[in-house]
A and B are shown apart, each in its own frame.
Chain A
Amino acid sequence: MKSPIYYIKVWRKLFLMSLKRSRSYKTELVSRLIRALTIILLQILMAQSLFSMTDEIAGWTRPQYYLLMGTYSLVMYISWGFFAVNLFRLNEKISKGELDYSLTKPTGNYFELVFGEFFIDDMIPGLGGLVMVLLFIFTQPVTLVGSLFYVISLLIGIVIWLSISTIFATVAFHNFKLKSLDLLPSLSQLGNVPSNAWGKWEIVTKVLFPVAFITVLPAQTLWRGLDINTLLYSFVIMLVFYTLSRILWTISIRKYESGG
């Protein structure tokens, strides 16, 4: 079992490789920046259209909803950069017989297949989300402590999303023709809706598919203030889902049979 320092060093090299790749493919970088701008405009357009019909959505005002959208963007695009692209490629690797090579790497199969490459280009559209969050922080009454707990909640949310994505990805080891990860973009949209909007179904977003902790809780921490019980509960959910994802991963990868 290798130490966390080892993995940090490996990941640092992956990060530098990604930066080098971005420098080589400048056109890609520029088009991603333009896409980031388009996404910001789209989000603003959507929010403006929604709020032209009402003053609040499920108790969330316009700045608070922008914060929610910004948080959603941040979580999603950070995920794309760190692990989502790698997981999406799992089905293709299995169908093309390229998985065997990944399984022999010294970093271990989980690190290799989940974090094996870092995609800085795919994170760039998240800049729009960052702008929205920063705008909220600088224009609304937000404390430094609130911002700190926002970051902690965000990190918890990202780990929960990693766990959910990994659970869906493990289906590929059983049947590589079933791309269960194609469900995630739609499921992630639940994070764009305040969880209390679901009424009696809110429990689904907090237990079964805890997307509320990915976007809604961090956003609420910033504008409503810290609720320590909710934060602790989200931490427990994070541990439960992460443990479940690792167990499922270990069980599922044992079922993998190389076609080569």
Chain B
Amino acid sequence: MESKSEKLDYKSLWTSFIGGLTIGLKRQKAWRIQLITWLLADAIRIAVMAVLLSLAAKSGDLQASNIVMYYSLLIILVRLTTDFTYENLSREIVFGAFSNYLLRPGHYLAFGLGESLSARIYGLFITIPFIIGIAILYQLGYADFIEFSWQNIVIGALFMPIAFLINFIRGNTYALVAFHVKQIFGLTALYRNLIMILGGEFLPLQIFPTVFFVATTILPFRYGISFPLEVFMGWLTVNEIIIGGIFAILWLFIFILMYIWLYKKSVLKFEAEGL
């Protein structure tokens, strides 16, 4: 008889995914009032960056309105592609609650994917005011450094699911470190900071020194947020989009393989003793 670990039960995986999505949506609905806070927090962040960056721009080309547009687009992408399931997962591994997932049918990753997608669905509500804001600014002509075209929008939209999957698989691969290192919370904070810096969530990667920018084109973080954004903005040539796309898909496969290998090594070490 084949063991559960050897045979991939697609029906169980699908059930896990739907379970995660359903539970996630119900949880998001119960906490929906929190959307107001997140919306305000994002709006304030845009205002701060708009003032700071427009003060710094000597030539005056970098107008506050352009920065508002850039960060509005960034926030839309962050809300739709960023994943935080790794934080809960690492905590559950450390505190011994991971055994619940081992007892369930299917796979915890499918469940987590459903949960994460439920958060993206609710994230859509936050993006609506920013989409309206972008449309208004674009109509008023405040899009000097953005070259919107339907081709860029379609290609950018195609890279968004890839960006989400990169963030999801990368994060869950990182979470497996908790099987080996129980004191994970400081590392998780460091990991979160690295994603923000190297992914272009904090400042556009283009304004950093060239060496730094070149490094980010090789590392996987850019493909989780900044790359789809650059495609949307029309900042990349066709060749750059193709090369970036190859890197994105390559990193996705690397993370999938890393996850499979690390999970097999890690789950054997799991002892539900908690901290």
- The residues of A with any CB-CB pair to B shorter than 8 Å are 25-32, 34-35, 38-39, 42, 45-46, 48-54, 57-58, 121, 175, 177-180, 182-183, 185-187, 189-190, 192-193, 197-198
Are A193 and B52 within 8 A (Cβ)? yes
The chain A residue sitting closest to B186, CB to CB, is: A31
- The residues of B with any CB-CB pair to A shorter than 8 Å are 30-31, 33-34, 36-38, 40-42, 44-45, 48, 51-53, 55-58, 62, 181-183, 185-187, 189-190, 193-194, 197, 202-203, 207-209, 212
Q: With A38-B190, A177-B30, A186-B42 in contact, do A31 and B183 touch (Cβ < 8 Å)?
A: yes
B34 interface neighbour in A54, A179, A186, A197, Cβ under 8 Å: A179
B48 interface neighbour in A27, A51, A175, A192, Cβ under 8 Å: A192
Q: With A45-B208, A177-B31 in contact, do A38 and B193 touch (Cβ < 8 Å)?
A: yes
The chain B residue sitting closest to A38, CB to CB, is: B193
Where chain B touches its partner, the secondary structure class is: helix
B177, chain A: closest CB distance, angstroms: 11
A54 interface neighbour in B31, B55, B208, Cβ under 8 Å: B55
The chain B residue sitting closest to A182, CB to CB, is: B37
B86, chain A: closest CB distance, angstroms: 15
Are A54 and B56 within 8 A (Cβ)? yes
Are B37 and A27 within 8 A (Cβ)? no
**Residues of A with C-beta under 8 A to B186:** 27-32, 34-35, 121
A210, chain B: closest CB distance, angstroms: 16
Q: How far is the CA of A32 from the CA of B53 in the complex (A)?
A: 29
Q: With A31-B183, A186-B44 in contact, do A48 and B209 touch (Cβ < 8 Å)?
A: yes
Are B45 and A193 within 8 A (Cβ)? no
The chain B residue sitting closest to A198, CB to CB, is: B51
Q: List 20 extra interface pairs beyond A49-B209, A186-B41, CB under 8 A.
A: A27-B183, A27-B187, A29-B186, A32-B186, A35-B189, A35-B190, A38-B197, A42-B202, A45-B212, A53-B207, A54-B57, A54-B58, A57-B52, A177-B33, A178-B37, A182-B34, A186-B40, A189-B44, A193-B48, A193-B51
